[in-house]
Structures are given as C-alpha cells and as structure tokens.
Chain A
Amino acid sequence: MKHPPSNQSKSCGHRHQHDQPSSRSSSLNRQEFDIEGASCASCVAKIEASLNKVSGVDKAEMNLAQRMVTVTGSADPGNLIEAIERIGYHAKIHEQGSEQDSLEKKERADQDYYKRLMREMCIALALGVPLMIYSVVGGEMTVTTNAERLIWLVIGLLTLGVMVFSGKHFYIGAWKSFVNHSANMDTLIALGTGTAWLYSMMVVFFPYLIPDLARHVYFEATAMIIGLVNLGLALEIRARGRTSEAIKRLIGLQTKTARVIRDGKDVDILIEQVQLDDRVRVRPGEKIPVDGLVLEGNTSVDESMLTGEPMPVEKKENDEVVGGTINKTGSIVFRATRVGKDTALARIIGMVKRAQNSKPPIGRLADLISGYFVPTIMIISVASALAWLNFGPEPAIAFAIVSATTVLIIACPCALGLATPMSVMVGVGKAAEAGVLIRNGEALQMSAKITANLAAKCTEDEVLLLAASLEAGSEHPLAMAIVESAKERNLKLKKIEGFSAIAGQGVEGSVVNKQLLLGNEKLMHENRIAIDTHVEVAQKMASEAMTPMYFAVDGRLAAIIAVADPIKADSIPAIRRLQKSGLRVIMLTGDNRATAKAVADKVGISEFFAEVLPGDKSGKVQALQAEGEVVGMTGDGINDAPALAMADVGFAIGTGTDVAIESADITLMRGSLHGLADAIAVSKATLRNIRQNLFGAFVYNAAGVPFAAGVLYPFFGLLLSPVIAGAAMAFSSLTVVSNANRLRFFKTGEHQE
C-alpha cells in the first residue's frame, strides 16, 4: 500500500491532522517571568546562565525588549524566581490576561469613555440649546449697545468654559497632531469651533471694526457642535460594541474553571491551570473546558456554537471533544490534549479577530483618500472664505466665516474610514457564527465574486479493490455494498485465500501474500493493530450515518471504509442554494464517468469532471480560470491543498475540531455544502454593505462640503448653518456603524431560502 492510512477514507474532507507530539510538549512546560531591574545586554547572559543551572531547565531565554524570560523544562517556578533574585533582579510570573479579562477591561474602558462623553455633551448642550433656541425664535445675536457687549462677553466666557471642559480633547488632539505634521478629525472640529468662537469674541471686543450687518456672534454654534460631536462619538461607541458581538460570544464560550481529577479526587481549578493529559470530568449540562479525548462515559455534545451544525454529536470513548461546546446528556471523563492558546476555540478566536481587522481591497481607495482628506478640507475651507470675501454680498466677512467654519465641520473623514472595517467586523463575525472561518478581507471579497465552484469528491480504488476481493466471500450486507462499489468501478477482484469470518468482528484472509483484515474496532484490537489516531475519523463517519469499517493490510491499518450513500442528505438543497445564487457548480471526482454522472444527476449538477487524478485537480481549476471564471474550490485541506491554493478562493472542509487548515482562504467547520453556500452568501451581503457604506460616505462628503461652502447660495440663497453641519457630521459616522450593524440580522443556513 503506498498511501498512508489516513488518506484512505472514502469520505472526503473528514480527515484530521494530528498535532505533532513535539508541539505538545513544548507548550506543556513553558513558563514566563517578568524581570525587573534588567537593563543591559550583559544582564541577559547573567540571568540566562543562572536559570540554566536550575535543575529541570531545558532552556532559558530572555527577551530584553520585553523584559521577559521564557523557561522551558520541568523546573519548579519557585526555584526559578529564587535563582533570579539571588543574582540581584526581581522576577514575577508573567500573567497572561485571558481573553475574557481583556475583553472585560476593554468594555469597562469603553463604558467610562462613553459616560465621560455623555457628561461633556450635557454640559455643552446645556449652554448651546438655549442659545440656539434664542437665535431661532429671532433673538438678537448682534452686538450694538454696551449692555449687549457685556452679556455676550459673559456668554463668550461660558462658551470658553464649555470648550475647555467638553471639548478639551479636540483641541489637545488637534495641537498634538499639528505638531506632528498630521491632521485628523480633531483638527477639523478644533479649527471649526475655534474660528467661530474667535470671530464672535472679536465682535464683542471690537464691534466697530466689523460692518454692522456682520456683527453676529456664533457662540451657540461652538457649544452646539462640541455637544453634538460628543454625542455622536458616544453613540458610536455603543454601536461599535455591538459590531464585536460575535467575537464576544466566542470568548464567552470559554469556561473559567475546569474540574480535573488529581490524586483520585475531583478538584475545581482555573482553566489556565489545566495541564496537558489532565483528566477532566464534565457533567451533563456543563461546558467542556478544553480539548481532549474521551476516556470514560457516553454523551451527546452540542457543537453548534462552533460548527453551526444543529444536531448534537454522539461521543463515546476515544472521541474528541472540543472546549466551549456543551455536554448534553451524559457524564464523561476526558484527557486534555490541547489547552490554553492551543485549543480549537482559542485558535478560532484568534483567527476571527485577525480577519475582522483585515481589509478587503475594496477599502483601499477610501484609505488613500483619507490620507489626504483633512488638509484638503482645510484648503477648501480657506478657498471658500476667499471666494466669499472676493465675490460675496455684504456682509462678506460674516459669510466667509460661516462658510469656512461649516466646511470644516461638515467634512467627516471618519465615515469614510469606518465604512469598510465596520462591515468586515460584523460580516466575519456573522460567518464565524455559522461555522465559516474567513481568513482575511481579501478572501471575503473574492468569495463574493465567485462564479464557478468546484466540489471535490474522492475515491480510492486500490484499497477498494483489496477490500472488495476480501469481502467477495462474505454475505454481510456491508460486504456486498463494498463488492458492488468495486464492480461499479470495473475493478477486477483478486482471489482470496484462507478466508474466514469472525463473528461480531469481521473477516480475514490473504491475497498475494498480503494478510488482510476487515472489520470493527474490536477486530483491530484483537489483532493488535494501532487505530488510535483514526478512531476519530471513523466516529465522524458514523455520526453521518455511515458505517465505518477498519481495513488492515499486513498488520497495519490501511483504510477506513465507510459504506453509505456518498451524497449527504443536505447536499441537494445546498447545491440548489448555490445554483440559485447564480453559481456554476461543478463536481470533481476520481470516479468513472458513469458513476460521476449518476451522482451528478442525483444532486442536480449538470457539469462534472470525472476520472480526475488527484494531481490534476489544480489543472481543472486553471482550466476554469482560463475560461474567465472566478473559481472557488471546495476540498479537504490536506489532500487538495494545491488545488485550494490555485483557486481564487479555497474552501477547506474541516470539522469543529480541526483548525489546522489555516492555509485555506475559508474554512468550513461544518462538513456540509451549506457551509459553502453560507460563506458565499455572507460574503456577498458584507460586500454589499461595504459598498453602501462607501457610497454613503463619499456622497455625503462630496455633496456636503460644496453645500457648506455655499455653492447653492448664488442660485437659491441657501447657506448651511454650522450647527446643522455639526449634527450631520456627528451622525454620518454613526449611520455607517449602524448600517454595518444591520448585517447582524443576516440569516444563514437552510432557512434562508
């Protein structure tokens, strides 16, 4: 047999890559310490040398930049700290804040910031609103008598108070970035409100320098704008919190404690303290704390939160369980195989977080523009003031000031900058909820553009030949199915010698000096054939209504053969969903034409590539690409890797436990084509959302800025008030975030039809 055993299962895409033992042990005994008092390169050598002398230390490495030392080996942490203290430094165990802690911290910080903004907003509006009402009902905003001057001086000083109390962050931010030759949102607000206030103060102090008609004060504008922008920011924080709901939900799946069996007793310990190979007990209704293999007990586990698969999965001895899923019916004890940052859940969280913050190419133009945005607005503002001064009607100076201020205030670089990231954040999170892991923004954008999708379906003729030859003598219905299947493929069966059936276990025999065994787990155990690492695959098949059998050649496991309808029940509606969305769905298989056609007809696919050798899969992808199609390829992450990489978007079918497929563009954790349909639907919805946002932000700025500059004045006598501009600006970025949040209501899955 030339294939390694794990490549022989008949069901594509349910293979598991197993962690190398080496990576396990390295994370097992890794300790990190923060070092105080070390400041030079020579300290590093001293500390490392002293740690290396402690018994049980394999390796001690210090990172001077982070003031942190990493020790591998089995040494006692107390001894290590002592060794460091002895040579005159201080050390403490490096605390790795859990995801949950840092999330809580972040939420607290956001909450504080929100409260502060709301407080500042109230103060600013307490002054701004009465002034505003006064001006709207026709109150005199001009300065003529000395009494008026005094009153306005008091109001001007109150406004200054608002600027200091409520708007301090704008002015400081503007100044700091100005000194650094950069400009941002703060710059625009600070300049806009500052100009309005300074002009108004000038009117109060030197009214006679300014023509009668232009003796107008704009204190209400300053106060109102500061208040409204703060309100906008506060609401934005709220809305942003919602965009990260999906990741919060994933982080929330982690338990805080685990019940491990130590010295024969159950002890509740913090999840961070769970070690590899710990025996962990989980009762019905409890969450599974870390990844592991079941040692005792039977149960069913709800894995929907990770895979999107609604049906609970049966677990028994040697089955894999995944941290974050919920144990439903039975009590189990399992051995921890992955803990801490290595668990599937932790890696999924990491992957989703990374993807949420990456940008699809569609956002590039907006990025380019935002880089030049603020200085450009400043220039437009000055130019518009000049235009009013030169060509405007009297009082030109007042018009110039109003237009310059309004231009500064109405422009909103944030809406432009937020358009893409907010939608990506929600879209990627939404996909994760459906068990679809999107690697980055580019994959997201490409999968919305897919026009043709290749779905791989594999066969393994050689194994089948041997197995069928063996089973030819058996009358078991499963055996007949295998023989049938070999005949379908025109395989010529070989002659078997020494055939015997072992009741309740399977059959044995030999062919051309090869010793063959085919049967259940028990048969393999009886014959001392190692199957540990493959039990999982078999279980997975069983959970999909297939009947797995182990097939050994010369004492080594050669294949797991599953007898079942090769088409999963939900494939047909899933394929219909894909076709409905305008996609060319093409089947790729090693089967002969007749079998391929039969399967294709059954699932409603009109196109297929039959008799494709494994190495030719990427060639088929290329052929489709040459036809001008944007090609999506669905296959398993290991065997189909070259074709997945060749495709515009590679969809690796994983399982909830296997996130080793980080090289694929998109991982479908639920082994179903519905995952593919979901992935494409979410991507399309997200891209549509981004386009709406970008369009809105562009149009808003492109229409708002000229309007504010007074382009409409010569025709309609319309000039925007700075207060309205402030409100528009504050709510434009809020609109973008809210629109992105609409994606949260996007529905995935079968019920979408």
Chain B
Amino acid sequence: MLIVNVLGLLLIGLIAWWFWIYQPGEVSAGQGAIRVIVEDGTYQPSRIRLPAGQSATLQFLRKDASPCAEMVLFSDFDISEELPLDHYKTITLPAMNPGEYDFTCQMQMYRGKLIVE
C-alpha cells in the first residue's frame, strides 16, 4: 500500500513538473516568417522567440478540422484571426516590448508563447 501511495504522489509530482515547470524548446525568428502548424491540439512550434521593437509575421497552417482550432488569439495585441483549414494565414504582429505574450485558441486549449527580447 505504501508503494502505491508513493507511486501516486510521484505521479502527481510528475504531472505538475511535466505540464507546468518544464520549459520546452523555442524557435527563434531567423530569415523570413515563422510557420506554425496547428494540429492535434497543439501549435508547432509553441514557443517562439522574437526580437523586441520589430514587427514580425507568423504564418499559421491549420490542419485540425475541430472548431477549437478555428481561431488564434493574441489577446495582448487585440489580434484574433480565423484560420482557414489547410491554408496559410499570415498574421502580422506589431513591434513589441520585451516580455512574454501568450497566443491561444478561443478556449485556451491550444497554447503558445511569444518570447520577445
């Protein structure tokens, strides 16, 4: 029983670590626009590093037919765009101050982050 309890608690810790504490890799803005694939409940890549003080373009390609994936919102910049299925949608971001900005679907299930520095 002790082992079960320890395993259970370990599992809880693991969940917290995996979803909240761990920081996944990032993609930096290089040449041209960054392409973000919207599929199976995620944005790929979901963490995007961008230079501050410059506008940037992201191209979203939605492959997921579920209505959840339909919108992408950058609530800090008042941007909300409908993503057509299987077509690139270009979203231009304004020049941004350094900081972290989330982009999400309407229901916050698809989540991504812009790291501006």
Contact = CB atoms under 8 A, between A and B. Distances in A.
A65 B75 contact: no
B110 to A, nearest CB: 7
Contact of A184 (B41, B71, B106): B41
Contact of B108 (A178, A379, A382, A417): A417
Nearest to A178: B18
B44 interface: yes
Nearest to A389: B4
Interface string A71-107: 0000000000000000000000000000000100110
Interface in B29-76: 31-33, 39-42, 44, 46, 57, 59, 65-68, 71, 73, 75
A495 interface: no
B28 interface: no
A181 interface: yes
Nearest to B104: A367
A244 to B, nearest CB: 10
Contacts, number: 130
Contacts of A183: 19
B109 A370 contact: yes
A110 interface: yes
Contacts of B44: 180
Contact of B46 (A180, A370, A421): A180
A174 B57 contact: no
Interface stretch (A352-360, A639-647, A664-672): A352-360
Contacts of B84: 102, 105-106
Nearest to B24: A181
Given A106-B84, A358-B80, A371 B108 contact: yes
A110 B107 CA distance: 18
A236 B67 contact: yes
A385 B15 CA distance: 15
B12 interface: yes
Contacts of B108: 367, 370-371, 413, 417
A176 B39 contact: yes
A182 B90 contact: no
Interface string A366-385: 01001110110011001101
Interface string A426-463: 00000000000000100000000000000000000000
B20 A375 contact: yes
Contacts of B80: 354, 357-358
Which one of B1, B66, B90 has the greatest number of beta carbons of chain A within 10 Å?
A: B66
A172 B40 contact: yes
Overall SS of chain A's interface: helix
Interface residues of B, number: 46
Contacts of B19: 181-183, 374-375
A64 B15 contact: no
Interface residues of A, number: 57
Contacts of A383: 8, 12
Given A176-B39, A370-B108, A389-B1, A182 B16 contact: no
A285 to B, nearest CB: 33
A354 B82 CA distance: 10
A184 B110 contact: yes
Contacts of B109: 184-185, 370, 413-414, 417
A113 interface: yes
Contacts of A440: 78
Contacts of B4: 386, 389
Contacts of A379: 12, 15-16
Given A177-B41, A379-B16, A65 B57 contact: yes
Contacts of B111: 182, 371
A338 interface: no
A64 B67 contact: no
A41 B106 CA distance: 36
Contacts of A172: 40
A110 B39 CA distance: 16
Contacts of A181: 18-19, 22, 24
A257 B13 CA distance: 63
B8 A375 contact: no
A257 B113 CA distance: 43
A382 B7 CA distance: 10
A749 interface: no
A177 B46 CA distance: 10
A176 B85 contact: no
A414 B106 CA distance: 10
A419 to B, nearest CB: 9
Given A105-B84, A176-B40, A112 B12 contact: no
B15 A109 contact: no
A651 to B, nearest CB: 20
A34 to B, nearest CB: 11
A390 B67 contact: no
Nearest to B10: A382
A540 interface: no
Given A105-B84, A106-B84, A390-B1, A176 B33 contact: no
Contact of A386 (B5, B40, B75): B5
B27 interface: no
B11 interface: yes
B30 to A, nearest CB: 11
Interface string A148-185: 00000000000000000000010011111110111111
Contacts of B106: 357, 417-418, 421
Interface in A331-355: 353-354
B75 to A, nearest CB: 6
A204 B5 CA distance: 25
Contact of A174 (B5, B16, B41, B71): B41
A31 B105 CA distance: 33
B32 A65 contact: yes
B65 A414 contact: no
B50 to A, nearest CB: 14
- Residue of A177, A233, A389 with most partner-chain B CB within 10 A: A177
A186 interface: yes
A181 B12 CA distance: 15
- The winner among B12, B57, B84 for most chain A CB atoms within 10 A is B12
A247 to B, nearest CB: 10
Contacts of B75: 359, 367
Contacts of B59: 65-66
Contacts of A371: 108, 111
In the A-B complex, list the 10 residue pairs whose CB atoms are closest, starting with the nearest.
A417-B107, A357-B80, A65-B33, A176-B40, A184-B109, A375-B19, A173-B41, A370-B108, A177-B41, A386-B8
Given A181-B24, A386-B4, 20 more contacts: A64-B32, A65-B57, A169-B40, A169-B66, A181-B19, A182-B19, A185-B109, A187-B41, A233-B66, A353-B82, A358-B80, A370-B108, A370-B109, A371-B111, A375-B20, A382-B15, A383-B8, A389-B8, A390-B1, A418-B106
Interface of B: 1, 4-5, 8-9, 11-12, 15-16, 18-20, 22, 24, 31-33, 39-42, 44, 46, 57, 59, 65-68, 71, 73, 75, 78, 80-82, 84-85, 90, 104, 106-111
18 contacts: A102-B84, A106-B85, A112-B65, A172-B40, A176-B40, A182-B19, A183-B19, A185-B68, A357-B71, A357-B80, A357-B81, A357-B82, A371-B108, A386-B8, A413-B109, A417-B107, A421-B107, A440-B78
